Chains A and B, each alone.
Chain A
């Protein structure tokens, strides 16, 4: 064969190069990832799934959920929100005068218009977010000045982006979120919504089961197919099953029958509820909503 070695060499380089770039490279970069730590806490992230939820991941895989759903929230930017929480001893008028006196600072030049608008509309209620900006320096300057003047404020870090505006998550997805996923099912097509934080968004197992059995019963005009085969329609025995779905009339089984989830359905729901990418991490910081203990 003419040029046999050259052909072999070219194929070897092409395949070897792809293998190095697609397998070895990422493994070197992220293969050694270990548990992450939740910001301002000693909790580790992600949380280990229950056995049921781990089995559910395989049900998710077997039913091709990743063909229509993604598990990755994207983030376009980040904003700092300065919120006034206490006036100390001063009055709202003093505060307005104080803010106006800061307008000469060069750091605040870009946000002066926002602050003017805030001062015009504000009628003294607290707490009040009065500065939302992607200029962190301006936000920090503002917070420092307020502190020095004896006023109380909080600076919230807020992730922004189209996915976050959809309510699909509160921050972007990072590699650590998938540490317990084997295989990782990022998905690439969004026929349905993103599921990275579905356990936070729809935390009720009963809702999830109903949605799997009859998507139209809970979401109007849902494009999702029914996963009826994960459920059993059986005659009601001596007593109705505690797991039986509470279906609306048009989806209800014939009289005397009930719809009971098979173990697969329960596992899938356990997996869906374990998807809750809502912890603030070093690589994806945000200020969590304050939940006083």
Chain B
């Protein structure tokens, strides 16, 4: 119906035939370059599956970096961890103490005291002999070993802060620097202290 369908060149009797020819080199090169770029993009944008990695994170290293590393909540959690494994065995994970083994920490005037020196010295030096807690004189079959001396300043500070702010206790924080200072001042006592000796120390 139009001239477009008519052969434009001179009529020829030969049928068109598809012939073989090699792929031009530039197509091969461009394809390879595109593949390379595509895979780089795929790789760089979390193309590989990891059950622990979700957007917007792209790698385990990045995710590790974003784990909350500070804050009161993290410190309290660390304190609870140390307390439950180290102190809770005798003092009870509920802080209520165990009769004949260790005095309660919940509501104990030793724990919630305004001054932090005596409380910090107890785990560093250990404690022997009778002690008065919440007005009750108490005696125990064996004393407390200097179990806190082996803890790092940060861990001891975390656990002391934890017992001062748990089970209804509402005393202030003890920092790693406080512990460091008190530890240095105390040195390494050869004998566990008694409560009378503690009372003579500054609060």
Interface residues of A (CB under 8 A from B): 29-30, 33, 39-42, 75-78, 80, 136, 143, 153-157, 172, 174-175, 280, 282-288, 290-293
- Contacts between the two chains (Cβ within 8 Å), count: 74
In the complex, B189 has a CB within 8 A of chain A: no
Interface of B is mostly: loop
**Given the complex of chains A and B, what is the CA–CA distance between A286 and B65 in angstroms?**
12
**Given the complex of chains A and B, what is the CA–CA distance between A173 and B169 in angstroms?**
36
Contacts of A78 in B (CB 8 A): 56-57, 66
Interface residues of B (CB under 8 A from A): 49, 51-57, 63, 65-74, 76-78, 81, 84, 165-167
Asked if residues B52 and A283 are in contact (CB atoms below 8 Å), the reply is yes
| Contact flag A287-B52 (CB < 8 Å), given A282-B63, A293-B166 | no
| Contact flag A290-B73 (CB < 8 Å), given A39-B68, A280-B68, A285-B63 | yes
**Given the complex of chains A and B, what is the CA–CA distance between A114 and B68 in angstroms?**
22
Asked if residues A136 and B51 are in contact (CB atoms below 8 Å), the reply is no
Q: Which residue of B lies closest to A159 (CB)?
A: B56
Asked if residues A75 and B55 are in contact (CB atoms below 8 Å), the reply is yes
Contacts of A286 in B (CB 8 A): 68
**Given the complex of chains A and B, what is the CA–CA distance between A290 and B63 in angstroms?**
22
**Given the complex of chains A and B, what is the CA–CA distance between A30 and B49 in angstroms?**
10
Asked if residues A156 and B66 are in contact (CB atoms below 8 Å), the reply is no
Other than A77-B56, A153-B70, A293-B76, give 14 A-B pairs with Cβ distance below 8 A.
Answer: A29-B51, A39-B68, A40-B77, A42-B81, A75-B55, A76-B56, A78-B56, A78-B57, A155-B68, A156-B68, A156-B71, A175-B51, A283-B57, A285-B67
Instruction: Name the contact of B72 in the complex, choosing from A33, A39, A76, A290 (C-beta under 8 A).
Output: A290
